[in-house]
Amino acid sequence: MAELQNLAYVVVAASDLAAWRTFGETIIGAGVCDASDGALGLRLDGHPWRMLVTRGDDDDLTHAGWDLGSPGLLDEYVAQLRARGADVREESAALAEARCVERLFSLADPNGYRHEFFCGRTGVTDDGGALSGVLRGDGFVTGDLGIGHILPVSKDYAEGVRWYQDVLGLRYSDRIRQEIAPGVFADATFFHSATGRHHSLATGQFPSPKRLNHLMLEYRDMNDVGLACDRAKKAGIPIVLELGHHPNDQMFSFYMRTPSGFGIELGHGGLVIDTESWEPKLFDVMSDWGHARNMAMVD
């Protein structure tokens, strides 16, 4: 059975591309490039870009791009989607070229954005992403593990969990259900793809002005997490969650607001799942230490 290999890229629509250029280069430490149709590309490695920021008033996630690994697996996966009743369509050669892929299919997500499926990323280089000089370490953890992860908010939590597992075919990693007040729970479910990053996608249901709660990017060097947090504070960027650690994926991280208003988690040390021995668990805390919430940043 064909499976999604990794989350390869994301596309967001943003009202202020100049702010994103500064944010990407001077705070995150990504390389920046001018992409097609006036879009901004953020580079994390040799891929032409891993995050595409297009011009638009949405200020939210619009597309998530998944790598299938080979033409045969792409065709097999599309056939599987259609057998499950999914309305998947092949996109134009022009859009495939804009996404720097050979062929491209897409499918609407019930939570208001689209998934894109491809194989064969074009324009890959050996320049390491031409990353910003603000980084201390060797850049970002990508490769077979993909860009990182996204946490879109589900309109219907049970349906969202079912759809990501039964339609997209993502593998269940684990779940966190934390009582944050008597009888009130924060709840999230985590999914991984075939190459094993602890989660490439997670979802939950809670009040949110955005489809995307947050995007996570992972540094190779732990020091880059702390340095990015310092840079963000110095620049006056709102910190949503202070430095802390998650019990399920073992990520050391912090969260801040992007220029579009959704969150970004910058972390280090994320767990990679051994599918032969993995046993999903139910956790009762989102963070086992730290991640103090800045209440001034709560919507």
**How confident is the model over 97-155, as pLDDT tens digits?**
999 999 999 999 999 999 999 999 999 999 999 999 999 999 999 999 999 999 999 99
C-alpha to C-alpha distance for 245 and 267, rounded to whole angstroms: 9
pLDDT of residue 234 exceeding 70, the answer is yes
pLDDT-based confidence at 222, cuts 50/70/90? Answer: very high
Name every residue whose Cβ is closer than 8 Å to that of residue 102 and which is 6 or more positions away in sequence.
71, 96, 118, 119, 120, 122
Distance of CA 221 to the CA centre of its chain: 19
User: How much is the pLDDT for 53?
Assistant: 98
User: How much is the pLDDT for 299?
Assistant: 41
C-alpha to C-alpha distance for 220 and 258, rounded to whole angstroms: 21
User: How much is the pLDDT for 196?
Assistant: 97
User: How much is the pLDDT for 275?
Assistant: 87
User: How much is the pLDDT for 298?
Assistant: 42
Domain 143-297, second-level architecture: Roll (3.10)
pLDDT of residue 57 exceeding 50, the answer is yes
Burial of 271 (0-12, 13-18, 19+ CB in 10 A): middle
- The region of weakest confidence among 104-108, 122-126, 205-209, 282-286 is 205-209
Helix (H, G, I), strand (E, B) or coil at 195: coil
C-alpha to C-alpha distance for 245 and 252, rounded to whole angstroms: 4
User: How much is the pLDDT for 294?
Assistant: 83
Give the global pTM: 0.97
- The percent of residues in the chain predicted with pLDDT above 90, rounded, is 93
Please tell me the CATH superfamily of domain 6-121, with its number. Answer: 2,3-Dihydroxybiphenyl 1,2-Dioxygenase, domain 1 (3.10.180.10)
- The percent of residues in the chain predicted with pLDDT above 70, rounded, is 98
User: How much is the pLDDT for 180?
Assistant: 85
For 26, which DSSP code? I
Domain with CATH 3.10.180.10 in the chain: 6-121, 143-297
Distance of CA 103 to the CA centre of its chain: 21
Residue 191 tokens, joined:
């999914």
C-alpha to C-alpha distance for 237 and 296, rounded to whole angstroms: 12
* Cβ–Cβ < 8 Å for 146, 197: yes
